[in-house]
């Protein structure tokens, strides 16, 4: 039975490309929002969701950090996608034909040098894949889209020039979400554990809570804070560590953490992936 994978965006979005990289033989369920992509997994419409959590240029994807802990879903994997901006034109168009380029503002911002070099007018689109679809539908050789190669394939656009981005280190990390808890077995290689916690409202609580990870040699690769419930004193933390909950050092660190927190929950234990 073919798996169904939800992602946020239109067909051809970078999230679609990331999902296809993890599940090449699946069918895909595009959703407008992160909430809808998660809801598709919750309801059984989709088997998994592949969602962006952070980008090397722009930092965290804020909505995801708020939504993940309350979604009831589990993180079962991660993947990294190198974000390559491609110039996509209608069939037969050339760069010399162009007077304008359309994409979402962050994508346009990442290609400023190319756009200035060719004296192109910019058109703000809702997203990269939607811009590719609109350019294809209009059939105007003077307007190109900036997006993924996949978007060009889906909407029948020609690849006029690849990798037109200013910086070559734009990478997005994606999480694979499931309804069912599927923890990577201990001793199965490099593992990450993601968890959320809320410190007690006492002096130096966070400092003391973090001490156990340092003294037990646990590498914390991510620590993000955000307020919950509209209360300035109710700060929740989202963290990634390298290690498995069954590792002795992780067990000791979690024990020490428990003394200074009033909420703690593991969101996933999954094989670590390497940035591309």
Q: What is the pLDDT of residues 144-175, one digit of tens each?
A: 999 999 999 999 999 999 999 998 888 999 99
Beta-carbon neighbour count of residue 226 at 10 Å? 14
Q: Which two tokens stand for residue 169?
A: 């280190």
Q: So what's the pLDDT on residue 228?
A: 67
- Name the residue with higher pLDDT: 78 or 205: 78
Tell me the pLDDT band of 1, cut-offs 50, 70 and 90. Answer: confident
List pLDDT tens digits, range 97-141. Answer: 999 999 999 899 999 999 999 999 999 998 999 999 999 999 999
* Domain annotation for the chain: domains and CATH numbers: 4-83+170-178 (3.40.190.10), 86-161 (3.40.190.10), 191-271 (3.30.70.260)
H or E segment to which residue 152 belongs: helix 149-155
| Catalytic positions, written as ranges | 172, 174
Residue 150: what are its φ and ψ, rounded to 5°?
-60, -40
Q: So what's the pLDDT on residue 231?
A: 59
- Cα–Cα distance measured from residue 205 to residue 169, given in angstroms and rounded to the nearest whole number: 36
List pLDDT tens digits, range 73-107. Answer: 999 999 999 999 999 999 999 999 999 999 999 89
pLDDT > 70: percent of the chain: 97
- Cα–Cα distance measured from residue 251 to residue 266, given in angstroms and rounded to the nearest whole number: 13
The pTM of this model reads 0.90
Q: How far is CA 238 from CA 6, 171, 194, 227, 249, in A?
A: 23, 20, 7, 11, 19
- Cα–Cα distance measured from residue 141 to residue 160, given in angstroms and rounded to the nearest whole number: 11
- Cα–Cα distance measured from residue 71 to residue 265, given in angstroms and rounded to the nearest whole number: 13
Strand-pair category, 100-103 with 143-147: parallel
């Amino acid at each position: 039975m073919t798996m169904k994978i939800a992602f946020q965006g239109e067909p051809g979005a970078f999230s679609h490309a990331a999902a296809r990289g993890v599940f090449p033989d699946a069918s895909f369920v595009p959703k407008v929002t992160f909430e809808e992509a998660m809801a598709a997994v919750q309801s059984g419409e989709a088997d998994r969701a592949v969602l962006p959590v952070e980008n090397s240029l722009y930092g965290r994807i804020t909505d995801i950090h708020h939504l993940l802990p309350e979604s009831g879903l589990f993180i079962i994997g991660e993947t990294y996608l190198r974000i390559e901006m491609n110039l996509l034109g209608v069939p037969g168009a050339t760069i010399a034909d162009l007077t304008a380029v359309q994409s979402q503002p962050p994508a346009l911002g990442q290609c400023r040098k190319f756009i200035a070099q060719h004296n192109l007018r910019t058109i703000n689109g809702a997203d990269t894949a939607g811009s590719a679809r609109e350019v294809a539908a209009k059939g105007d050789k003077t307007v190109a889209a900036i997006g993924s190669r996949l978007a060009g394939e889906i909407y029948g656009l020609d690849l006029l020039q690849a990798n037109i981005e200013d910086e070559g280190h734009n990478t997005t990390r994606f999480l694979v979400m499931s309804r069912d808890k599927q923890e990577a077995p201990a001793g199965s290689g490099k593992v990450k554990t993601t968890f959320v916690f809320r410190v007690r409202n006492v002096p130096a609580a966070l400092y003391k809570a973090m001490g156990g990870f340092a003294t037990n040699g646990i590498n914390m690769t991510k620590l993000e804070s955000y307020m919950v419930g509209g209360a300035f004193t109710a700060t929740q933390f989202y963290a990634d560590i390298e290690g498995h909950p069954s590792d002795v050092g992780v067990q000791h660190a979690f024990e020490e953490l428990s003394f200074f927190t009033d909420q703690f929950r593991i969101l996933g234990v999954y094989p670590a992936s390497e940035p591309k």
